Amino acid sequence: MLIFVYGNLRKHERHHSLLQNPRTISLQAYVDGVLIEPVDGQPVMTDGNEKVYGELYEIDPSVIDQLERTKEVIPAKAIQTEATVVTDHGSHKATVFAATSEDIQGSLIPSGDWKVKTFLENRPSETLYFAYGSCMDQDRFKKAGVHIHFQDCLGAGIVQDFRMDYSFVVDDGGRGDITEVPGEVMEGVVYRVNQEAVDYLFEREGVLPGWYRPAFLDVTIDGRVYKDVLTFIVKRKSPETLPPEHYALEILRGSHPYVSEGYHRKLQDQLLGLGMDEKRIRVMLNQVHAVDRDPA
């Protein structure tokens, strides 16, 4: 059976092991509703017009009975019900534990994401950040006057079962996004940043106006898996659209020193597939290689 989890049953959270080695369907899923933190601190979903973010798993039906018998796992007012769970690769009917709005008193979690809520509360002094679009490019940071905060680069990061798309569309074309696609592999650049850099990223990515949302992914760097690395994902996705040339250059230039040759070729092929002229891509690559040769 399928279950949608949104609180302490999520991956790397303290009760996740109670799902007993579930099969992952989606790590970036959502249902319609709102997320509330009651006075006892155990998050609970209820009906509403926002989104609650979580994960979708296939579990053995016997796990449900065990969860219901564990008081600290399921909120007191929550009951087992069914909801439509939306993922990047389709919608599913799944079991979810939720409460009616009349039964719940507490504070609204604006992000709809328990991981984000705890991250913002803790405000760690250091955070690992996975960049996959124009934030791979140091020139953009220099223009914004924040490059000093992005000097601690851990190198190339690899994320399994996701890919980079240009599905955030503005007036002049597409911008980078992360889409969950089983079997795909994407690469990017990982920085270790301070809280000032995190605040800048939240502003740059338009978290408050609802352009992108913070999310957490497992990222592999030099064979080591780093858990819950911060990144940003588009909230309202559009069909993939060719990006403007200046944005494409930032991605090709920023990724070039770090990602694999095969992935860099994949980024070029992606632009070709979206309609960019091959000659323009060659011109951009010449600019990228010119930066490599510049002794400054």
Residues marked active site are found at: 205
Q: CB under 8 Å to 265, separation ≥6 — which residues?
A: none
CB 47 within 8 A of CB 103: no
Of 245, 257, 246, 273, nearest to 164 by C-alpha is 273
120 CB burial (10 A radius; 0-12, 13-18, 19+): middle
Rg (CA), the chain: 20
- Torsions phi, psi for 164 (to 5 deg): -95, 130
Please list the alpha-helical segments (H only) found in 151-213: 195-204
How remote is the C-alpha of 191 from its chain's centroid?
Answer: 15
Residue 244 DSSP symbol: P
* Alpha carbons 252 and 137: distance in angstroms, whole number: 9
Angle formed by the axes of helices 261-273 and 278-293, nearest 10°? 150
CB 211 within 8 A of CB 170: no
Q: CB under 8 Å to 60, separation ≥6 — which residues?
A: 1, 20
Q: What is Dmax (Cα atoms) for the chain?
A: 66
